[in-house]
Amino acid sequence: MEIINRLLEKYPNVTCTEGVMGGQPCIVGTRMPVSTVLTAVAHFGSIQEFLDDYDNRYTVEQVKDAFRFTRDFLDSMYRTVEEKTD
């Protein structure tokens, strides 16, 4: 959980709240999980198309933080696995 807390400090547009969407990372002030943001952007093909489809309820910075949070989380998990296998 330490890595999650560090990432939440680093990316203020992402939060994890117990009891909200099962505690999974979400865009701050919403019930929109980061994983759904990534899936939707992949589906629509661009951040702008995602924003347009969601009537600009989210900002570009919120979406970018969702991607950055995920990238850093995955990098951290990879390093952890790598350390354990050395």
**Model pTM?**
0.88
Please say if the pLDDT value at position 1 is more than 80: no
Total number of domains in the chain: 1
Confidence of residue 86 (pLDDT cuts 50, 70, 90): low
- List the CATH number of the domain containing 75: 1.10.10.10
What does the pLDDT average to over 3-9?
A: 95
Collapse the DSSP code of 58 into the 3-class scheme (helix H, G, I; strand E, B; otherwise coil) and give the result.
Answer: coil
CA angle 44, 45, 47 (to 5 degrees): 85
Where residue 55 falls (left for φ over 0; alpha for ψ -120 to 50; beta otherwise) is left
- Which residues form the domain of 11? 2-85
What does the pLDDT average to over 29-45?
A: 97
Both tokens assigned to 25: 């990372």
Both tokens assigned to 57: 């309820």
**Percentage of the chain modeled with pLDDT above 90:** 85
